Structure 1
């Protein structure tokens, strides 16, 4: 077979079962070989959407997904989604064609290696026909082990070379990877902090989700009397636990933020302590000791608020802390219960119960003919099934679905703009999420700007007949910019647009579409939810003058 075919066959043997892409002459052969072997192929309308579909699929399924694109412009079209996947540390493999050696005058030529390197992804290469299997396996394993996107370049001349069919690989796909364990010294140091803390707080990030650390952190919270929180990308991690404060950061309620600021020791597991998580440092008390646990040494201490960095897997570290605290208990040394009441008290429980998932106070009265975004979100929360995957695009609107809609677990939440703050990734992410979990209803929240930026993937939803509910918070503007530059400034027409009938656009594409200006207009949505077939687009005309409480930090540091 050709080396290009051998790439597809090797990927199948490695366990790749799902591929998203846009096929051109440079990636046709390996993609066709993978599909012929039995993989499912989802054709996107744009390469940028294809890589985001694969990213979302990986986040929801926990499997490594594949994106396949043409060389040159096919690769350059992936850049925004690829950077978002890099910043989200998603294990993802992209295969792309590459011009033959010496073909620098080809219209398709671009320095692909340099381009990939600049995104933060890993650039890998098929070097010769006789090494095609080895090169493909190496790229796959690096994506899985290093939890980073890897782009495998496939030169056309090497793809065409004749090679023996690959023998059955002695591999278990991603392989069993030994995760790094923390040093005994670092465990002892953090245990001492927790043992003497009066108001500890545990924050779980994406790393805690990946390492399946929930049970260990719940036990650690119980042993130390800690309150619990999670970053936005780990939404749903501590669902239903009575001591959780929900999301830490810009989407935290005033009551939750007040409690977080009272913590004297904060331990983040797989949490980067970004400016969003800490509200630019204001969410942490000035005297709090901050501990960061991460498997990547490069991630430790990137913020000045981190006092102690622990290099280790979140799960391994949490279990090691439990063992260390148990040993101290047996020696009656620095007992976490000695001389301190902790703050899992009735008073604190009452404070948690009082604010619940409430946001800061805001009027819910809207302009005539427009619906308040919070009213819309809360009404939909009562209508949506519990088995759901919530996907949010970027924009000012996103605080309402994030704070008003519950999710069953972290795998049921995809925050597309958390890494790169790009809008327009939501429709593609919804395709990936629904493909990964067809047993759950995918609900996408998007702004009109992000929806229209990526509207080509509406055809993908319709073509695949995916039962996805798309809620467009339509304020006829780039709302974040409007609110940021309002207050007497001129030229806001630069970020405002004439009204767009998105419901009519959806119906023209073959989807169900409904315009919502009030709660009573949601009746067709309720009917669709009884037997969802194909996508439904909700064109919600929201009040453009309503400003979310999270908006004040949207542009800090820009």
Structure 2
């Protein structure tokens, strides 16, 4: 089997004994426990990738480099470990840029191994200033200058990806790759990655101010981001909530963090229901833990009352200075900060001072999307996307991983589909607002979290941009449910410009029969125009050893997701 296809462990190509720096890279990554590598091989990354396969990893061949990085991103988010991708230098690397930026903005731990032109080879067709390029995007870089630095650079890059929680690119110049190495471990001795210890707790002054703000608040809201999840602090945060009588909400990236907790409003911001948004706006103190106050989360600055005090706890100083609306920035580890608060705030608030008691659990329950009324517009061969989303939420197993691509449709699965925890929700359009990254992420999520049913929500526009990875999905026969919200358009632009008098023909297209397209790749498909067409999902779930299933859902084109009204403010 050629390694241009998927090569599982135990079916390895016969390789010569490691003898170059490129072999050392693959061997070390394998020794460090890398189990999967996603990529597109070329001459610049072939040897290192082959050595990694020989060392025990499974290679998953993508059809495009952007797909490879999205797969590694999805693998990292769903599996809770560093995702690894491998691509050729020059155009191989530049093809990853959109996926790489999304991973940077989403703080995904990801190692991207790529070739590079030799020092001075600026006339090479493959030349591009790679380190400057990826550094400008916010990714980390490691580039060994000679063979003796390869091992330490490799170990350092892998450690940085994990501890810094961002993509780190390992650039391997061709001449360095070819350096003879007498021992695969040459250069590894004494190599040190970044420290793996926790971040420090907040300063005493910051903690004093935070405690004072909490004691003065009448209606505290705990707003948790993915930083709470990565810090494994859900239980501690819920204990803090219990003491304060606070209400809780999450960013989109942390969707599912408080699944099952009766005091959680779900996602804050654009994806919140109107009753939930009303409760959030009534808070007089917002305690942001490991969360970025993005336009999504703040509903373009309208989510919180003007007089509310906003707190942000983060270990990244850059994150703390990103939003001038924050009144109390607290630099420190989320887990350490919450534990320090629990030590200081030992008592339980009197019943008459608790917001949860005064508000009532019924108000929180009544804010859930699945109980909000709407007029079902299913008809004329098209299904209402709200009806579609509600029905699918009831059909899918509770243990699920939901991957959401970008586009207007994102409001529907994000509002109506529950997830068990943040590892079960991968919004690939959240960081960079790109479309077309979801299919690759779904492949990675299915491999990184095989014990859950993976469901991909994607628009027709995003699927057209990533069609080549249907081949990967079919080749690996992954049990992924692909739900296409098909309005034959770039729906966000249609709804944004429909009253402007502009020519919407620029963003509308002839309808695509994705069932026929999927069949060409060997994937089962079904067209959904009304609720009974979803019977195929139950049959699919009942099958053992099932492969992928694609639903081409012809949705009503006039239904606008609630978040859309704020989506383009300031654009």
**TM-score bracket, shorter-length normalisation:** over 0.9
What is the match of residue 264 of structure 1? Answer: 284
Aligned with 2:117 (options 94, 99, 109): 99
CA distance in structure 1 between the aligned counterparts of 2:200 and 2:524, rounded to whole angstroms? 49
CA distance in 2, matches of 1:56, 1:34: 20
Of residues 118, 140, 153 in structure 1, which corresponds to 2:171? 153
Partners of 1:9 and 1:34 within 8 A in 2: yes
Partner residue, 2:514? 502
Over 3 Å counting, the alpha-carbon distance change for 1:490 and 1:459 in structure 2 is same
Q: Secondary structure at the match of 1:93?
A: strand
1:421 to 427, 433, 458: 433
- Structure 1 residue 548 corresponds to structure 2 residue 567: no
- Kept in 2: contact 1:14–1:174 (CA 8 A): no
Alignment partner, residue 323 of structure 1: 343
Assess if the C-alpha contact under 8 Å between 2:429 and 2:435 holds in 1: yes
75, 87, 94: which one pairs with 2:105? 87
2:196 aligns to what? 176
- The superposition leaves residues 294-347 of structure 1 with CA deviations (integer Å, 9 ceiling, x where unpaired) of 010000031122000011111111111101112xx4xxxxxx626952211164
**Quick one: distance in 2 between partners of 1:483 and 1:169?**
59
Give the 5 Å matches for 1:234-245: 234-245=254-265
**Whole-Å Cα distance in 2 between the matches of residues 338 and 183 of structure 1?**
29
Aligned counterparts of 2:275 and 2:500: Cα–Cα separation in 1: 32
1:107, distance to aligned residue in structure 2 (A): 1.1
Matched, 1:6 2:3: no
Q: Give the gaps of 5 or more residues in structure 1.
A: 330-335
Tell me: CA distance 1:6–1:531, structure 2 relative to 1, closer, same or farther (3 Å): same
Report the counterpart of residue 459 of structure 1 in structure 2.
471
SS at match of 1:514: strand
Match of 2:412 among 389, 394, 400: 400
Match of 2:4 in 1: none
Structure 1 partner of 2:331: 311
> Does structure 2 retain, via aligned residues, the 8 Å contact 1:15–1:173?
no
Gaps of 5+ in 2: 1-18
Whole-angstrom distance in 2 between the partners of 1:347 and 1:249: 20
State the shift of 1:169 in Å: 6.7
**How far apart, CA to CA, are the structure 2 residues paired with 1:253 and 1:358?**
10
2:134 is the counterpart of 1:128: no
Alignment of 1:251-290 (within 5 A): 251-290=271-310
Distance in 2 of aligned mates of 1:338 and 1:458: 57
CA–CA separation in structure 1 for the residues paired with 2:87 and 2:134: 14
Contact 1:253 1:358 in 2 (8 A): no
**RMSD of aligned residue pairs (Cα, Å):** 1.7
CA deviations 1:194-233 (Å, max 9, x no partner) are 1221110001101111111100100000111110000011
Q: Deviations over 1:476-521 (max 9, x none)?
A: 0000000000015131000000011001111121000100100111
Deviation at 1:526, TM superposition (A): 1.6
Instruction: Give matches, 1:14-93, under 5 Å.
Output: 14-93=32-111
Could you tell me whether the CA contact under 8 Å between 1:471 and 1:539 is conserved in 2?
Answer: yes
Q: Cα 1:277–1:359, aligned 2, differ >3 Å: closer, same or farther? A: farther
Which residue of 2 is the match for residue 231 of structure 1?
A: 251
CA distance in 1 between counterparts of 2:535 and 2:361 reads 37
How far the C-alpha of 1:358 sits from its partner, in A, is: 4.1
The 3 A distance-change label for structure 1 pair 477 and 42 is: same
Deviation at 1:165, TM superposition (A): 2.2
1:361 CA drift (Å): 5.1
Hey, what does 2:356 align to over in structure 1?
344
1:114 and 1:56, CA in 2 relative to 1: closer, same or farther beyond 3 A? same
* 1:409 aligned residue (421, 428, 436): 421
Q: TM-score, normalised by structure 2?
A: 0.94
Task: Give the aligned partner of residue 333 of structure 1.
Answer: none
Going from structure 1 to structure 2, the CA distance change for 1:323 and 1:383 (only over 3 Å counts) comes to same
- Matching residue of 2:180: 162
Shifted more, 475-484 versus 54-63: the winner is 54-63
Q: Distance in 1 between matches of 2:420 and 2:350?
A: 36
Within 5 Å, give how 1:214-225 maps onto structure 2: 214-225=234-245
CA distance in 1, matches of 2:482, 2:325: 39
Secondary structure of the corresponding residue to residue 338 of structure 2: helix
**Deviation by residue 1:151-177 (Cα, 9 ceiling, x = unmatched):** 111011110110132348789998632
Cα–Cα, structure 1 residues 324 and 115, in superposed 2: closer, same or farther, change >3 Å? same
Q: Does 1:473 align with 2:473?
A: no
The counterpart of 1:384, out of the listed 396, 400, 410, is 396
Structure 1 residues 272-296: Cα deviation after superposition (integer angstroms, max 9, x where no partner): 1111101112110111111000010
Cα distance in 2 between the residues matched to 1:417 and 1:320: 35
The CA deviation at 1:178 is 2.4
Tell me which residue corresponds to 2:159: 141
**TM-aligned CA deviation for residue 184 of structure 1:** 2.0
In 1: Cα distance, 2:131 partner to 2:321 partner: 29
Partner Cα separation in structure 1 for residue 472 and residue 350 of structure 2: 60
Distance 1:173 1:408 in 2: 33
The match for 1:119 is 137
Give distance in 2, aligned partners of 1:23 and 1:166: 22
Map 1:509-520 onto structure 2 (within 5 A).
Answer: 509-520=521-532
Structure 2 distance, partners of 1:521, 1:174, is 53
